[in-house]
Structure 1
Amino acid sequence: MNTDISRKKDEFETLLCFSKAIAAARHRSDLWEIVNEQLLENIGASYYTLCLINEDAVTHSPFLYSAEKKIRTVTGENPVMHLKHPVHDGIFNKAIDREEPVVFDLRSLIRQKNVPAYVIHWYNSGVKEMMLIRVCNGKEPKGVLYLYALKAGVFTKRRYGFFTSIADQLGTGVSNILANEKVELQLEEIRQYKIQLEQENRYLKEERKKDRLPADKTVGRSAAIRNVYELVEKVAASDATVLILGETGTGKELIAHQIHDSSPRRDKLMIKVNCAAIPANLLESELFGHEKGSFTGALDKRIGKFELADNSTLFLDEIGELPPEMQAKLLRALQEKEIERIGGKAVMKVNVRIVAATNKNLEEEIVAGRFRSDLYYRLCVFPITLPPLRERREDIPALVSFFIEKYAVGSGRKITGIAPKALQKLKAYSWPGNIRELEHLIERTVLLTSAGIITEVSLPSKNTMLFSRPDAETQVRSLADVEREHILKMVRLSNGRISGAAGAAAKLQLPSTTLISKMQKLGIRKEHFIDSGKENG
């Protein structure tokens, strides 16, 4: 009698301490520590597993478990422990259907047919006896607590009430932890949204610093630039992809801003990516983002520019510099309108309007095998070619006046204009650097001028090697480039055929195997000589 009283007193004190600890638990790691440190020795078990019914209602999986009385994460143990097992596996469902605990002798159990894999795992670990207790949230069964003993006779019937009380406490703790995890997930989503807003705010501040020309205040009235403005006006209201072409310094980014600022997406910030300024190994993360720990140095989750530009415009500057491996990934994002972060498992739909720009001749890049033809056609839905400054010289006076006012105000100087002789000198110059070169020259001239009017401008001395635009005959090209271009030309003339009397190999007077080998060596692929969606035999 005294022994029973003493045992019940010990069980009551154990339950009291366990209840207080469970009430303070907020994370699974807290629960692991409580069960492993406070409970196992008091109930005579060596190991435990707490399994919960999954959302599909037909399988169950471990929520937490012990191994050798050490705290373990759910990713560092035997794979058997992580599998989904059927609710009706002949073991789990027996405990779910009963209010009292169920005890199994593993030596007898292991002889039965179709015994679950986890029973075999524990039998091989030396477990002799296993007790299962239903775990509920209120009156609704949520899972089962498995207790394992290395010797028989540990789980006696007189202690069933004690074991059931433990399971009830665990049910309360699990419910609290799951609720807490849901709150933390919502807080993480809020934190990520805050990060996104901060990133957008940073972009906005950077854009304001640039003090760019407003979309409704264009400079220049030449026929060439008016044609550009008319194209911008026609395409801005749509979601069509725009490819802006033109020499360096012609104002491609300004036109991209004007397209965005005149579009229905103007209330959101236009996001810019300079494809030439980002290392190739970081460009995928820049565009699509990454999950924490997805690669070395990924210390936190990162939102990519595509995700940041959702429901807005993404400006891909210097698109001609995009590495070949990224061209395929960009093409997929444009075609499917969806992205996936590096290391992520979820595919995200994005509503992004693409405006791209380049100073390269992409058709020549396709011939040279450096740019995918299918990506080119995907981008070149609505091309806009910006004229160089030498083809719109009548706009130079207006541009000069604008830049004088801009930099005079910025430097605190009272400069009202430019002398006719100096202006004529600017109009006669060839401007290989286009508007950017003109702007920088005016900025420098304003700083050097002490009078109220600019009377002298210092133009750079002509350097034919630097400023001339080499044609195909004067360009220095490698033998591989020449060979590659010639092979591509012959293959195209042969409608994509390599072998046979009408094939490219015959035209080049080479065995077809030799030609195929050369094409592989030079990186010539099928998409380089066959348009997307059109294949010839």
Structure 2
Amino acid sequence: MSNILANEQIADRESERELLLSISTDLAAVRNHKELISVITRRLKNKLAFSHIFIGIVNEDQSTFSTFVTDPDSQSKGHPEYDEAIRSKWPINDGIMNKVSASSMPLVFNLEELSKQPDIPLYFKINYESGLNQVIITRFSKGGKVFGFWAIFFGGKDVLDKAGHILIAGLANQISITVSNIMANEKVISQLEVIKRYKKQLEEERIYLKEEIETSHNYSEIIGNGPEMQKVFRLVSKVAPSDSTVLILGETGTGKELIARAIHNNSPRKNSLMVKVNCATLPVNLIESELFGHERGSFTGATERRIGKFELANNGTLFLDEIGDLPLELQAKLLRALQEKEVERIGGKDSIKVDVRIIAATNRDLDKETAEGRFRSDLYYRLNIFPINLPPLRLRTEDIPLLAAHFIQRFSKKLGRHIDKISNSELQELRHYNWPGNIRELEHLIERSIILTTGDTITNIPLPSPKPKELNQPQQYSSLKTIDENERDHILTMLKYCKGKVTGDGGAAQLLGVPNSTLSSKMKRLGIKKEHFK
């Protein structure tokens, strides 16, 4: 009899050894959660006669664990608290898992006895209430450190003997290796996704910067010494260091984008992008995608995922040009993005947090637009935190000589011409023109004049003829000056622009187109001294 028992024990051990070897081969091919649960249930469910299994992983805090694998055929799946149980983080030091952590062998727990405890963990409670009576739990460890748990639930009691517990311990060693490999593989995949995402974002930024370089005017500075622009500069210097939203108001061509760039370049965000969106030039059906991005397949033509300008400007500045032209239906979505500091791509399910400073600009009267229902009042109040009004060129004529000289220098270099002066008569014409297109119009006229000029001095600027109704209107004079006063102001402006240089290359005399001696005598006659233009 004893020989028969011994032979049976030998046969059982041989069978278990073969099982461990064969299941080891199957586990070696496992690459994900689904394959893991498939191998465990297919190879072990009948052998161990369990109801279902659960695998949990210790979190980074080392004090809690979360679900890693659940059994799709779990008997407790219909319990109303099942979803909560598998989504939650659970403390390891609960009087049960801490015992498992300290044991090298699987531990058996009677669910009926556990249910009598007032603080029974929910994951045990739902299994007991689903008709299960016993659970065997063993730990997963690597390098002496516990990183997970394997719980096996049974409908009966004392289903496995000591040999069964030894078998579970051996299986746990193999399964722990597979779980560790899956975790490592998921970490690599996650890191590759992060790299891919950053690579995509860098490519988006590269494309954006390339477009900006190609389209930017590349002004080295904003030109303007008059009192109106000095007010603007003071406001810029006050608001730039903050994170406040800025609303730049002004007619077309007054330099709103330059002011926006000046604010950004003097802010703590200057090392990040300032991303521009022109709300007036984008088709209505593309503005939302441009601002918030879209997922692949979210609409016809969306062949790949694309991040929006909000995400591209993260940690930087988003410049919303011509904000007054934004359609009403998108104003609500923009308001939400500003309030919640998060966006949702078209076709996406998740909200994406963004840290963006907003600078908006418009040539419209937003008070009027709001009153007439074309612009949301709540969005207007959100944007109108720090308004900056840019003066039209007709109200800052004292800056026209400086602007003209700047454009002459720039376009002469660009076009390979040697033109460095403008005649006094033409300069006076520029000062008396109404400038409906403001600085942009002046810029284009100077470029055209340089192309048409044959010598080194611009003697004719093709100013548009005034419309008949403009001819009949009485001219408005803000102040009247004598010829000497006008000449004195003009010479002082040029001297300031030349940083006090009177003669030589780039000096005031050269720009004014007069001999050095003539300028010196005029300065003496008009009482212009060095302290006036330092």
In 1: Cα distance, 2:39 partner to 2:227 partner: 79
In 2: Cα distance, 1:375 partner to 1:286 partner: 19
Q: Deviations over 1:75-130 (max 9, x none)?
A: x9999864416989xxx98996994576999xxx9xxxx99666888x8xxxx999
Are the aligned partners of 2:139 and 2:149 in contact in 1 as well (CA < 8 Å)? yes
Distance 1:163 1:276, change over 3 A: same
- Counterparts of 1:92-107 in structure 2 under 5 Å? 99-100=105-106
**1:381 corresponds to:** 385
In 1: Cα distance, 2:160 partner to 2:465 partner: 97
State the AA in 2 paired with 1:243: L
Which deviates further from its counterpart, 55-64 or 132-141?
A: 55-64
Q: Deviations over 1:24-77 (max 9, x none)?
A: 75543553565477x358847798543326759999875335658xxxxxxx99
Are the aligned partners of 1:220 and 1:398 in contact in 2 as well (CA < 8 Å)? yes
**1:360 corresponds to:** 364
Are the aligned partners of 2:250 and 2:391 in contact in 1 as well (CA < 8 Å)? yes
Secondary structure in structure 2 of the residue aligned to 1:84:
helix
Distance 1:409 1:31, change over 3 A: farther
Distance 1:421 1:381, change over 3 A: same
1:16 aligns with 2:21: yes
Secondary structure in structure 1 of the residue aligned to 2:364:
coil
1:395 aligns with 2:396: no
Distance 1:140 1:255, change over 3 A: closer
Are the aligned partners of 1:403 and 1:443 in contact in 2 as well (CA < 8 Å)? yes
Q: Deviations over 1:295-327 (max 9, x none)?
A: 5549547365267342x4332211212333443
Determine which of 234, 248, 273 is the counterpart of 2:252: 248
**2:178 corresponds to:** 173
Are the aligned partners of 1:287 and 1:305 in contact in 2 as well (CA < 8 Å)? yes
State the AA in 1 paired with 2:36: L
Distance 1:386 1:100, change over 3 A: closer
Are the aligned partners of 2:205 and 2:312 in contact in 1 as well (CA < 8 Å)? no
Distance 1:389 1:186, change over 3 A: same
Are the aligned partners of 2:247 and 2:385 in contact in 1 as well (CA < 8 Å)? yes
In 2: Cα distance, 1:79 partner to 1:283 partner: 44
1:392 is displaced (CA, Å) by: 2.9
Are the aligned partners of 1:422 and 1:455 in contact in 2 as well (CA < 8 Å)? yes
1:362 is displaced (CA, Å) by: 0.5
In 2: Cα distance, 1:3 partner to 1:303 partner: 70
Determine which of 224, 230, 233 is the counterpart of 1:220: 224
Q: Deviations over 1:465-524 (max 9, x none)?
A: 9xxxxxxxxxxxxxxxxxxxxxxxxxxxxxxxxxxxxxxxxxxxxxxxxxxxxxxxxxxx
Are the aligned partners of 1:340 and 1:347 in contact in 2 as well (CA < 8 Å)? yes
**2:148 corresponds to:** 142
Secondary structure in structure 2 of the residue aligned to 1:327:
helix
1:433 aligns with 2:434: no
- Counterparts of 1:449-460 in structure 2 under 5 Å? 452-459=456-463
Q: Deviations over 1:432-485 (max 9, x none)?
A: 2222233234334444556555454445566789xxxxxxxxxxxxxxxxxxxx
State the AA in 2 paired with 1:245: L
Distance 1:285 1:175, change over 3 A: farther
1:400 is displaced (CA, Å) by: 3.0
Q: Deviations over 1:132-157 (max 9, x none)?
A: 553433574833344789x9999787
**1:314 corresponds to:** 318
Are the aligned partners of 1:271 and 1:309 in contact in 2 as well (CA < 8 Å)? no
Which deviates further from its counterpart, 393-402 or 352-361?
A: 393-402
State the AA in 2 paired with 1:438: L
Secondary structure in structure 2 of the residue aligned to 1:221:
coil
In 1: Cα distance, 2:154 partner to 2:450 partner: 85
Distance 1:313 1:41, change over 3 A: closer
Which blocks of at least 5 consecutive residues in structure 2 are unaligned? 1-5, 116-121, 470-534
Determine which of 163, 168, 176 is the counterpart of 1:163: 168
Distance 1:208 1:57, change over 3 A: closer
Secondary structure in structure 1 of the residue aligned to 2:56:
strand
Are the aligned partners of 1:47 and 1:66 in contact in 2 as well (CA < 8 Å)? no
- Counterparts of 1:282-361 in structure 2 under 5 Å? 283=287, 286-287=290-291, 295=298, 297=302, 299-300=304-305, 302=307, 304-305=309-310, 308-310=313-315, 312-334=316-338, 338-342=341-345, 343=348, 348=353, 350=355, 352-361=356-365
1:360 is displaced (CA, Å) by: 0.5
Q: Percent identity?
A: 43
In 1: Cα distance, 2:293 partner to 2:215 partner: 26
Distance 1:309 1:345, change over 3 A: closer
Are the aligned partners of 1:133 and 1:145 in contact in 2 as well (CA < 8 Å)? yes
In 1: Cα distance, 2:179 partner to 2:446 partner: 70
**1:71 corresponds to:** none
**1:405 corresponds to:** 409
**1:529 corresponds to:** none
In 2: Cα distance, 1:129 partner to 1:169 partner: 26
Secondary structure in structure 2 of the residue aligned to 1:51:
strand
Count of aligned pairs between the two proteins: 441
Which deviates further from its counterpart, 319-328 or 26-35?
A: 26-35
Distance 1:3 1:139, change over 3 A: farther
1:371 aligns with 2:375: yes
Distance 1:163 1:439, change over 3 A: same
Secondary structure in structure 2 of the residue aligned to 1:231:
helix
Q: Deviations over 1:258-309 (max 9, x none)?
A: 222233443333232323344556555544566x679554954736526734
Distance 1:58 1:441, change over 3 A: same
In 2: Cα distance, 1:141 partner to 1:421 partner: 86
State the AA in 2 paired with 1:142: G
Distance 1:302 1:240, change over 3 A: closer
Q: Deviations over 1:380-434 (max 9, x none)?
A: 2332211222333343343233223323322334444445555555445433222
Distance 1:82 1:13, change over 3 A: farther
In 2: Cα distance, 1:4 partner to 1:464 partner: 115
Which blocks of at least 5 consecutive residues in structure 1 are unaligned? 69-75, 466-537
Distance 1:47 1:317, change over 3 A: farther
State the AA in 1 paired with 2:55: C
C-alpha RMSD of matched pairs (Å): 5.0
Secondary structure in structure 2 of the residue aligned to 1:136:
strand
Secondary structure in structure 2 of the residue aligned to 1:52:
strand
State the AA in 2 paired with 1:339: E
State the AA in 2 paired with 1:390: R
In 1: Cα distance, 2:437 partner to 2:39 partner: 71
1:241 is displaced (CA, Å) by: 3.0
- Counterparts of 1:57-96 in structure 2 under 5 Å? 63-65=68-70, 82-84=83-85
State the AA in 2 paired with 1:31: L
Q: Deviations over 1:183-209 (max 9, x none)?
A: 544554455445444444444444444
Q: Which has the larger radius of gyration?
A: 2
